[in-house]
Amino acid sequence: MTTLVNDRHAPGWNRPPIIESDGEGELLEVAMGPHHPSTHGVFRMDVALDGERVVRLKPVFGYLHRNHEKIGEGVSYLASMPYTDRLDYFCSLTNNWAYALAVEKLVGIQVPERAEYIRVILAELTRIQNHASAIGFLIQEMGASGTPLMYAFKEREKIMDLFESLTGSRMMCNYMRFGGCRVDISEVQLNMARSIVAGLPNFIDEFEALLSSNEILLARCQGVGIIKPELAVNAGLSGPMLRCSGVNYDLRKVDSYGIYGRFKFRVPLGDHGDIYDRYMIRVLEMRESIRILEQALHDIPAGPVADPKVKSRGIRPKPGEVYGRIEAPKGELGFYLISDGSPNPYRYRVRPPSLINLTILEDMCLGQNVADVVLIFGSVDIVLGEVDR
């Protein structure tokens, strides 16, 4: 057996840990990243290996820190909106929504009916494209370089085209405003959304035919990277990572923020908490998103998308604090704002799902093969822009 001396109180504790071996085998320290093709950005995992098995794993992040929260305290409430696009750059519209929801709660603004529907439509489209590409990246890390990812991107491209024609930008949408949306969605764009949604079941069937029963995928994913429900709850996980272990907690059901109370949809739950469950939950969530989209696109009423009386510029909320949260594709995305009555927030805090889902990486990886570390990391579905902020 090998033992690891990593005692903080021992002399010279700030040096790289001293690894002692009794001669049976030696630990190998590998720094995976910060520039590693599977790390989705700049992220380092200091892995200690005993042969192929992971003995210790230390995630190191902060390479992409951009001072997001401090910038948010220095600029007006409106000016933080485009910065939220840059948190999780795959799902800028849900980030916009979470921030708009927090400020609306703080100021006490009502959102018009049509704007609520547009928000739901855009958020569910975002969820679909995020999950599709997350699965694509996961499979790519398994070694299927390209094919599933390109299938996912083919569908994502259609959604991106809709986002571009509506918001003016493919990824940095900057679309939601306090008390509504920036521009109205036209009938042409709604029909575009309808035709995308009509093609989605086909796409998911194709995706599943390609992957779900693939023997290699089953062999690599089942029983690997297991999360126990107790650990998931204690670590504060959210989103597909929490639900894969069987905990029924979806903010769309729990909080019914916006108008989610009106739609019929189910929350898929996992049973084993392994990578395959996380893959399957994402597939099933896409199918449920289609159901929500069909209902929303059918029911969307006419009317204004923003209250003309609400000024987004120069708002000065009364002193107070608020926490606004939504079910972003990756988990619970929350914004915690404290106002002191000035045009800038006194405190601006982001609760990023990616970072908190990443905290149990070591628990999932211990005892697994080093090749599975890449896969487990991919199944967490993170974006480093949100982890480091």
Partner 1 sequence: MLGEGILKGMAETARNFFGSYVSKERLTTVQYPEEREPVAENARVFPFLVYDEGMKDGERPEWEAGLRCTSCQICEKECPPKCIFIEKSKDKKPDAFGKAQYYPVRFDIDISVCMSCQICVEVCPFDSIKMDTQFELATDDRFGNLMIDVQELAKSDSYYHSIHPTEASAIDQHRAETKVMLAAKTKAAAESAAAKAAAAPKPPEQQAGQGA
Query: Rule CB under 8 A: which residues touch partner 1?
Result: 75-76, 78-83, 85, 147, 151, 157, 164-169, 172, 174, 182-183, 206, 209-218, 312-313
Residue 289 or 312 with smaller CB distance to partner 1: 312
Residue 60 or 78 with smaller CB distance to partner 1: 78
* Residue 143 Cβ vs partner 1, minimum distance, rounded to whole Å: 13
Q: Whose structure tokens read 């606004």? A: 324
Cα 125 from Cα 260, distance rounded (Å): 15
* Residue 349 Cβ vs partner 1, minimum distance, rounded to whole Å: 18
Residue 209 or 366 with smaller CB distance to partner 1: 209
Cα 83 from Cα 95, distance rounded (Å): 10
C-alpha 45 chain-centroid distance: 20
Q: Whose structure tokens read 């003016």? A: 168
Residue 26 or 206 with smaller CB distance to partner 1: 206
Cα 132 from Cα 81, distance rounded (Å): 26
ω into 34 cis (within 30 of 0): yes
* Residue 128 Cβ vs partner 1, minimum distance, rounded to whole Å: 19
Q: Please tell me whether residue 2 adopts helix, strand or coil conformation.
A: coil
Which structure tokens are listed for 216? 């290699």
* Residue 214 Cβ vs partner 1, minimum distance, rounded to whole Å: 4
Which helix or strand (DSSP H or E) is residue 351 part of?
A: strand 347-351
* Residue 168 Cβ vs partner 1, minimum distance, rounded to whole Å: 4
Residue 6 or 214 with smaller CB distance to partner 1: 214
Cα 278 from Cα 257, distance rounded (Å): 24
Q: Are 86 and 388 in contact (CB under 8 A)?
A: no
Cα 269 from Cα 276, distance rounded (Å): 12
Rg of the chain in Å (alpha carbons): 22
* Residue 10 Cβ vs partner 1, minimum distance, rounded to whole Å: 47
Cα 2 from Cα 23, distance rounded (Å): 8
Cα 347 from Cα 337, distance rounded (Å): 6
* Residue 75 Cβ vs partner 1, minimum distance, rounded to whole Å: 6
Residue 52 or 206 with smaller CB distance to partner 1: 206
Residue 261 or 304 with smaller CB distance to partner 1: 304
Q: Are 162 and 192 in contact (CB under 8 A)?
A: yes
Residue 186 or 256 with smaller CB distance to partner 1: 186
* Residue 114 Cβ vs partner 1, minimum distance, rounded to whole Å: 18
